Amino acid sequence: MPNKDGSVLVCDSGWFCGEGELQEFRVASEAIQFKLGVGLPGRVWESKQPAWLEDVTNDPNFPRSAAARTSGLRTGVGIPILSGNQVIAVLEFFMRESRGENEQLVRVIVAVAAHLDLVIERKQAVEELSRINEILHSILSDMGDAVIVADKDENFLFFNPAAERMFGAGATKTNASEWSHRYGLYLPDKVTPFPHEQLPLMRSIHGEEVNNVELFVRHEKAPHGIWTRITGRPLRDSNGELLGGVIVCRDITQIKEEEFFRAGQSGVLEMIAADAPLADVLTSLVLLMEGQAEGLRCSILLLNRDGKHVRHGAAPNLPEAYVKAVDGAPIGPRNGSCGTAMYTRRPVVVTDVMTDPLWADYRELAQICGLRACWSTPILSWQGDVLGSFAMYRQETRGPQPEERRLTEIATHIAGIAIDRQRQQEVLRERDARINLAAESADLAFWVLYPEQGAAWMSDKGRRIYGFDSNLPLTCELILSRVHPDERAAVKAEYDRACSLHGAFESEHRLLLPYGKTRWVIMRGRCLQDEHGNLLETIGVTLDVSPQKQAALQLQVQREEMAHRNRVALMGEMTASFAHELNQPLTAIANSASAARRFLEHGNTDPVLLQQLLQDMVADSRRAGEVIRGIRSLVRKETSVQTLLNLNSVITDTVRLVSSDVLNRESVVTTELDPHLPEVQAALVQIQQVLLNLIINALDAVEQLAPPQRRIIISTRSDKGDVAEVSVRDFGVGLPKDHPDKVFDHFFSTKQKGMGMGLAIVRSIVEAHGGTITAENVPDRGARMVVRLPAAPGQVQKSKAAA
């Protein structure tokens, strides 16, 4: 038959006579490999036709002639066995006597050989399958991954050695519902048994492909547990019929432990970032390290600020007696593992504390606590300063393993970050205390803004000025929110301008504090940049100038009082002049009237003469009126001439006039002005008088309220384009419920010191302009005064077009 690579023919055992008679010929046949065309088999292989050798002992192309002669063989017949057109074997027949070719015998042999191809092919297939099975079994046995096969009836067919190691046993007759209990299979919580219907093998048996299912295995042979990740596939025959399932289980214990360890490190670092207490951080770090190896105990000691003694840091699983004995111990060249490590700034390994001289002073204590080995490593800051030490303890005598050295390196690095951060925060707190002391002495508030992060810092003085609690985290946005809404946009624009130019800025503005209280401040700052021109931070100071502002308001009040007294004195000084000026037109009117009466008494009814006298009287009366109006204008410093007025502008100017009074009363006046309001024909001074009376009354109405409730809203709107409406609304106690319009009556007042004339004068002025004024209570709270004035001619159409 052809060998594996099909290059030669080799002899296959199969004889029909006693082995003793043909032993030599058989041995010779099995020893020779026949190439194509060589010997009887090679000749048949090449021609694919039967061959007849009458005498093999004398045939030069028959390599086994000597063996045939010894075995008494003379005639040889070779018959090809074909599979399709391929020779899969050569069948040889030998006879003892020499015979010529017998066609009938050849036909019989060929007929027999025709049925042997199936037998040979099946034999080859069986041999190949056996070989493949051996290879597969060898591969599965040598695999590091566990492989389990079960049939569709949930019976185990195969457990490779890795599976037996992972699950603590091989294939058993256990019912599928008991697999989790029998082999210790748990969900990732390590507590809940894995539901058998969700097991990857069960799902594969039922035709489902399973990928990357993680479960936890724990049994007697693996008490600490094994993490495994499982992939499963269903097994089907060539027709797609389900035969069972197979799973491959990979041990990922080391991967999971690394994940848990990294998560633990991240948790400790998050505690550091969140400014958790140092003791909590160090304790969590020690517990994390102890969890990486069985029987490991660790501690962290801190170097005291005197640089000579140690302080307890963390040792959650060391005996209390040992912790107390070590706390406060001095460092030195022979002071245990930790004291020596801090002193020498190098790791110190003590494999047996009972014999090492470094532990002479602590040997008895170590024996009581069951400690036999200790290796300690100094904890250094990023600047190289000693901060403390990290130590590992064992109950057996030995040195650190490579994994323990790795853990020590990680622990000292993280501990260094935590301790160094705490030391830096202590330095910052001391600096803040000095800054606050300086700020208090200079009556200044210091602050720093970090625009990139949006964070901010402010001294204690600044927090009091801005009304922030001492523990409130500050942001740039929060500080800006304290600026009065009316001035916030301007302050923000000035700050942005300074940041864009990397320059300085200064702003005087109001702060609106909780409960509505206002405070005047001056804010000065400078923007700092790095070497690349990027904005780093803005530093500055804030000065509370509220007392100065209050003094300025009081000075303004005094000036107004002095101006009023001056006007009164001026009126006294000019009384005679005013009387004289007024007397002249009045005397002329009297004279003209007397002359007209005399003419009429004497019967003189000349219409021309009488008309002239009447014209003179009218002119003199006008002159008298001008004198009176001049006096009023002098007293009020106004002219009574009506012009086109934009009520929005008048309101804005009037609010500005009373802003000092509003500020002094700790009140807020806001405006909501209609940009399409039509203009009116009115006297500016009189309209200002109306607005001033309404605003002052509103301020009086809210005076008894808490500062946050002292609000006044002045709004305007256009009523169908032909009326301009002004509303002054307060949030006070309101008007009399039965007759709110009584406030416009003469000598009626809701104020104890009021004379009841202000609103009466207001109504007369409004009505003199052809308008109306009404008073009403607002449902939720307060009162509203509404003034309606007719739009000036030509303004109605403009207002409607704008709307």
Phi then psi for residue 301, to 5 deg, are -110, 145
Token pair 């027999």: residue: 112
Reported CATH class of domain 258-426: alpha beta
Instruction: Return the CATH class of domain 642-802.
Output: alpha beta
pLDDT in tens, 256-272: 888 888 999 999 999 98
What pLDDT is recorded for position 577?
36
Residue 669 has what pLDDT?
A: 92
Q: What is the mean pLDDT of the chain?
A: 83
**Using an 8 Å Cβ cutoff, are 303 and 312 in contact?**
no
98-115 mean pLDDT:
76
Contact 53, 40 (CB under 8 A): yes
pLDDT of residue 638: 47
Res 126 pLDDT > 70: no
pLDDT in tens, 378-392: 999 888 899 999 999
Distance of CA 122 to the CA centre of its chain: 69
C-beta separation of 48 from 87 below 8 A: yes
pLDDT tens per residue across span 345-365: 999 999 999 999 999 888 888
Query: Cα torsion at 760, 725, 684, 696 (round to 10°)?
Result: 50
Q: Domain residue spans in the chain?
A: 19-127, 143-251, 258-426, 443-540, 551-636, 642-802
- For the chain, the maximum distance between any two Cα atoms, rounded to a whole number of angstroms, is 202
Residue 752 in this model has a pLDDT that exceeds 60:
no
CA 585, CA 628: separation in Å to the nearest integer?
11
CA atoms within 13 A on the CB side of 517: 8
**Whole-angstrom Cα distance, residue 446 to residue 397?**
59
Say which residue the tokens 């009189």 belong to: 686
| Per-residue pLDDT band at 602 (split at 50, 70, 90) | confident
List the beta bridge partners of residue 715: 672, 727
pLDDT tens readout for residues 758-796:
677 788 888 888 999 998 988 888 999 999 999 988 765
Q: What is the pLDDT of residues 624-641, one digit of tens each?
A: 665 565 455 445 544 457
Domain 551-636 grouped into CATH 1.20.81: no
**What CATH code would you report for 443-540?**
3.30.450.20
Which two three-digit tokens encode residue 648?
A: 């929005």
Region 141-169: mean pLDDT is 88
Are 727 and 786 in contact, with CB atoms under 8 Å apart? yes
CATH class of 19-127: alpha beta
* pTM of structure: 0.45
What's the rounded Cα separation, in Å, for the pair 224 and 578? 114
Give the span between the Cα atoms of 27 and 5, in whole angstroms.
23
The domain at 143-251 falls in which architecture?
2-Layer Sandwich (3.30)
Cα 550 from chain centroid? 46
Q: Predicted confidence band at 578 (pLDDT cuts at 50, 70, 90)?
A: very low
pLDDT grade for 166, boundaries at 50, 70 and 90: very high
Count of CA atoms in the C-beta half-sphere (13 A) of 361: 15
Distance CA 606, CA 209 (A): 131
The rounded distance, in Å, linking the Cα atoms of 185 and 198 is: 11
Identify the band that residue 439 occupies on the pLDDT scale cut at 50, 70 and 90. low
Q: How far is CA 668 from CA 102, 522, 702, 729, in A?
A: 135, 21, 10, 12
Alpha carbons 788 and 774: distance in angstroms, whole number? 9
Per residue in 407-428, pLDDT (tens digit) is 999 999 999 999 998 888 887 7
Task: Output helix, strand, coil percentages for the chain, rounded to the nearest 5.
Answer: 45, 25, 30
CA-based end-to-end distance of the chain: 109
Fold match between 443-540 and 642-802? Answer: no
Cβ atoms of 285 and 295 within 8 Å: the answer is: no
Core vs surface per residue 234-261: b (16+ CB within 10 A) or e: bbeeeeeeeebbbbbbbbbbeebeeeeb
Residue predicted with more confidence, 560 or 447: 447
Q: Are 76 and 64 in contact (CB under 8 A)?
A: no
- What string of DSSP letters covers 231-275? EEEEEE-TT--EEEEEEEEEE-HHHHHHHHHHHHHHHHHHHHHTT
